[in-house]
Amino acid sequence: MPSLKIYQKYISLIFIKNFLIIFTALQFFYLGIDLMQNFKNLPNSANLQILYALYTFLNAVNFTLPISLVIAMIISKFNLIRTNEIIAMYASGISKNSLIKPIFFTSVIITIFYISLNFTNFTYSKEYAYNILNHSSVATSSNNLFLKYNDNYIFIQKLDPFKKKAYGIRIFKIKDKDLRTITKAKSADFVKEYWVLNDIEILRKPPIDEKNAKLSKISYNHYKTLKGFKPKIIENVYEGKNSFSIMDAYQAIKLFLSQNVNISKIKASLFAMLIFPFFAPLLNMILFYYLPISNRFFNLAIASSAFVFTSLMVWAMLFMLIKMSVNGVINPELGIILPILILASFASYLYVKNR
């Protein structure tokens, strides 16, 4: 047992070293290609150029990290084959399941860390880079938004999601198909899950069947309303964007589920962030069992290229299914969850088979 623990550390260190080398190389390759393509369109400000490079680098993580885990596993095992260490390990009584455990659990830990980043504004890196490239600003405002929230129809003249502010707000409350109130506010701030309206004027209209009733007008300095209707949710839903953080996606689903709004695209974004990344640890386990254990009957260069190509094909197919799910072509449960469940089932089958 003590020797097995030492072996697990040794395998993990080899895997982590290869992962860091491949991940870093792919990150800078992605950044370099992007900068070469868009260099002429970058703003003149040095600060914005640095920010653009940073956000592009962060956005690249979504593409490079999962596939780096798989390629690192393939290279790690082929290095062990080349030095005949893997034969020695099998000869000492170490099973295939024991060999894959350190790589699998290290992959899971890295994947969980990556998923945790999607709870933050890391998710919006692509959007920020796009704004810098096209608008010379990290964040842009949206104008003339008109949305429905419960019994309210909301018009926002200008929304700044980055500062969590809105200007020129009109809220029309409808009850039983009858307009009841019109709330006007010069500005609003999103504070602790509520929109706090400033300089408010509420015009109340009595019900249609009420006789001799008059319009009434009330003014307030501040007024809280629209709980949970976050600025980023407003902007993304209105403009049809599919970039959400995990918390924003969850709150958007919770918010719109009771309002008969189609949430399939939001669910697809949520599943892509929470479930799809686990394809890398699962694919690592599956490919590991099919990799050769000796270089006697295989050309290592050709074999490694074949396995890397297979990994890229699987990643491309899963990525295509995600895009189809996000665009509403297929159900997100079928396009994202089902393929990962199939990979998990097959990986479990191979693990049990090799006990």
For the entire predicted model, the pTM comes to: 0.84
* pLDDT the model gives residue 3: 45
Give the chain as a 3 state SS string: CHHHHHHHHHHHHHHHHHHHHHHHHHHHHHHHHHHHHHHHHCCCCHHHHHHHHHHHHHHHHHHHHHHHHHHHHHHHHHHHHHCCHHHHHHHCCCCHHHHHHHHHHHHHHHHHHHHHHCCCHHHHHHHHHHHHHHHCCCCCCEEEEEEEECCEEEEEEEEECCCCEEEEEEEEEEECCEEEEEEEEEEEEEECCEEEEEEEEEEECCCCCCCCCCCEEEEEEEEEECCCCCHHHHHHHHHCCCCCCHHHHHHHHHHHHCCCCCCHHHHHHHHHHHCHHHHHHHHHHHHHHHCCCCCCCCCHHHHHHHHHHHHHHHHHHHHHHHHHHHCCCCCHHHHHHHHHHHHHHHHHHHHHHCC
pLDDT tens, position by position, for the chain (355 residues)?
A: 444 478 888 899 999 999 999 999 999 999 999 999 988 888 888 899 999 999 999 999 999 999 999 999 999 998 888 888 888 888 888 888 888 999 999 999 999 999 999 998 888 888 888 888 887 887 777 788 887 777 778 888 888 877 888 888 888 888 777 788 888 888 888 888 888 888 888 888 777 666 666 777 887 778 787 777 777 777 776 665 667 788 888 887 877 776 666 778 888 888 999 999 999 999 999 999 988 877 776 777 788 888 889 999 999 999 899 988 888 788 889 999 999 999 999 999 999 988 7
pLDDT digits (tens, 9 = 90+) for 260-308: 667 788 888 889 999 999 999 999 999 999 888 777 767 777 888 888 8
Amino acid at residue number 99: L
Question: ∠250-254-260 over CA atoms, to 5°?
Answer: 130
